[in-house]
Structure 1
Amino acid sequence: MASRAATRLLVAGALLASCVPHAAPIGASPAAEATATNACMDVSTTRYHTVSVDGLEVFYREAGSRDAPVVLLLHGFPASSFMYRDLITLLAGCYRVIAPDYPGFGYSAAPPAEEYTYTFDRLADVIEQFTDQLGLSAYAIYMQDFGGPVGLRLASRHPEKVTALITQNANAYAEGLPDDFWAFPKSVWRNPTAENLAQLRDQTTSPESLQWNYTHGVKDPRAINPDNWYLQQALVNRPGNKDIMLALLYDYRTNPERYPEWQAYFRKHQPPMLIVWGKNDEIFPPSGARAYLKDLPHAELHLLDTGHFALEEESVQIARHMHAFLDRIVGARISRRADSGGH
């Protein structure tokens, strides 16, 4: 594990160095080049914050220069911002990277389900208010799993704020909901008896299920950090937390209903999109990744030989794709800032 961590640090250094040539246009003044270089090389330690949103304490991780373009990382189920620990390091040299925990997840407040309405609309409201409180007027959104319906609600509400979308095993098409995995959840949505709901809750929050989420479809299960599922299990085992997870799993039925709306948003606004997808995912298979191309024919698609939590095996490759993609889309802001002397 130590050698793997060392390799990631070396690659992170290489990625940071790769930002520098693109940070200022050829022929820029020395002062402009220095400004751009400083913007890309200002690698801060990840900081851990909380902010009050919707009456709750929302935890988030942040790294990178406050002047850099923003990348907002939205996590999946049953994860938290912890899933982005490596990606944050790999991006922070060129971008301001922000990864919040939703209410009920990670280290954010988790009021009981009887006292707080856990829906995807509510999560999107919280993240929208979160971005407002942090003064984020423009940002790229990285979406994984649950991050898809949260991020796409946010993007379709405020297309003017979204500089780019990165979707990683986050679905927005019927083709991405295969019956071999989704048959039981769909049956519970149609017939939400107490018995069916309890079965859905217990199946999706069991130790076996949480570990499977991280290890199915991977090339080498021994390379997957078990901290992932042990941490998630500890958080899910908090009093009342399994009922919070169940509330959102049941509310997930509202997301396919929104697919036509999000697809219309894609067609109308043509947001720049990078699709990086674990092709061995049984939850959201690559058919869901390819479906985006129907409405976003210029999207960039990369299918990776891994599973649902693709960052566990492919964080370096995903970061490379993101740097190349984001440099084309939002990197010009760094150049413009450099040309103006930082003003």
Structure 2
Amino acid sequence: MTHYRTATVDGLKIFYREAGDPALPVLLLLHGFPASSFMYRGLIERLAHRFHVIAPDYPGFGHSDAPSVVEFAYTFDSLADIVQKFTGQLGLARYGLYMQDFGGPVGLRLATRHPDKVSFLVVQNANAYEEGLPDDFWGLARALWKDPSPANYAKIREAAMSDAALEWNYTHGVKDPSRIDPDNWLLQRALLARPGNKDAMAALLHDYGSNLSHYPAWQAYFRKHQPPALVVWGANDVIFPPSGAYPYQRDLRQVDFKLLDTGHFALEEMGDVIAAHIERFHDALEA
């Protein structure tokens, strides 16, 4: 059974989903853009018998508070600060990290700050390498990083947050679009319609460029600390293609690598497969 709870962190209400016996190993699920913990609703149910599963919504996402860009700095450093304090409030001394999309730069900030707290990684279409940001998709974002002009902000908002773009995020690269729940983009449209929410998301898309300077440190963390890692990657993803998945094998010795025949939000079509991979992977760690 999933519980729907809130914690207060730095004066902000942080919503989270929680399931499983607290005595079980902790799996912290960090969501992508412009999603929320809603993306993990099925995985939580599938894994609650094996893990203490916790999935927070970042500020500005899902059911968490969504302060304006004047009231809150929408940067990845800020998101990581909130999640780090959130894990401290819940007393999570050690956890596995499932990271997808934006969850990568949030989670890897946590991991490099406190490598002793991370028991393993599950990497699902979350980039930590320059090879994973091809210009044919990331050109508009790179232009925004270089020149945060009103014109470039307008272009990125249309490309990333239009109704068509929200649906495309879920349907590109999938084998069977009829299996993809339209509640995903309906919920995102409603949340983005909140006053100022698109400004918050645009600020994060601009700040995404700051992650590239962290890549060497994240890769050094992989090489030094060698966290066991399961890479389960939607191979047909245009946003984060497999060119960003392969390099994990370069830096990690203990990596279980699976390319899946689906798109960016791989859980929507292959949730059962991914859950089975996580269980098998964790069984091997405990053997």
Name the TM-score, length of structure 1 as normaliser: 0.83
Deviations for 1:251-272, whole angstroms, at most 9, x for unmatched residues?
0000111100100000000000
The alpha carbon displacement at 1:84 in A equals 0.2
Alignment partner, residue 251 of structure 1: 207
Alignment partner, residue 235 of structure 1: 191
- For 1:160 and 1:72, the matched residues in 2 are separated by 15
- For 1:286 and 1:193, the matched residues in 2 are separated by 31
Residue 152 (str. 1) matches residue 108 (str. 2): yes
The alpha carbon displacement at 1:242 in A equals 0.2
Matched letter for residue 97 of structure 2: I
The alpha carbon displacement at 1:197 in A equals 1.0
CA RMSD of aligned residues (A): 0.8
Structure 2, unpaired ranges of 5+: none
Deviations for 1:55-107, whole angstroms, at most 9, x for unmatched residues?
10000000000111100000000000000000001100011000000000000
Could you tell me whether the CA contact under 8 Å between 2:140 and 2:155 is conserved in 1? no
Answer with 218-227 or 187-196: which moved more: 187-196
Answer with 52-61 or 197-206: which moved more: 197-206
Deviations for 1:203-246, whole angstroms, at most 9, x for unmatched residues?
21100000000000000111100000000110011110000000
Residue 179 (str. 1) matches residue 131 (str. 2): no
The alpha carbon displacement at 1:192 in A equals 1.1
Residue 76 of structure 1, aligned match among 13, 21, 32:
32
The alpha carbon displacement at 1:110 in A equals 0.4
Residue 314 (str. 1) matches residue 275 (str. 2): no
- For 1:326 and 1:179, the matched residues in 2 are separated by 36
- For 1:297 and 1:290, the matched residues in 2 are separated by 13
Matched letter for residue 312 of structure 1: E
Q: Which has the larger radius of gyration?
A: 1
Residue 164 of structure 1, aligned match among 106, 120, 124:
120
Please list, as runs of the form range in 1=range in 2, the aligned pairs for 1:205-224 lying within 5 A after superposition: 205-224=161-180
The alpha carbon displacement at 1:122 in A equals 0.4
- Secondary structure in 2 matching 1:84: helix
The alpha carbon displacement at 1:326 in A equals 1.4
Answer with 185-194 or 212-221: which moved more: 185-194
Matched letter for residue 211 of structure 1: E
Structure 1, unpaired ranges of 5+: 1-44, 333-343
- For 2:39 and 2:135, the matched residues in 1 are separated by 27
Please list, as runs of the form range in 1=range in 2, the aligned pairs for 1:277-316 lying within 5 A after superposition: 277-316=233-272
Alignment partner, residue 284 of structure 2: 328
- For 1:113 and 1:298, the matched residues in 2 are separated by 40
Instruction: Report runs of 4+ in structure 1 exceeding 4 Å deviation.
Output: none
What is the number of equivalent residue pairs in this alignment?
287
Matched letter for residue 107 of structure 1: H
- Secondary structure in 2 matching 1:252: helix
Residue 46 of structure 2, aligned match among 81, 90, 95:
90
- Secondary structure in 1 matching 2:231: strand
Matched letter for residue 133 of structure 1: Q
The alpha carbon displacement at 1:327 in A equals 2.1
Alignment partner, residue 86 of structure 2: 130
- For 1:207 and 1:165, the matched residues in 2 are separated by 32
- For 1:224 and 1:172, the matched residues in 2 are separated by 27
Report the structure, 1 or 2, having the larger helix content.
1
- For 1:298 and 1:117, the matched residues in 2 are separated by 36
The alpha carbon displacement at 1:297 in A equals 3.2
Please list, as runs of the form range in 1=range in 2, the aligned pairs for 1:98-113 lying within 5 A after superposition: 98-113=54-69
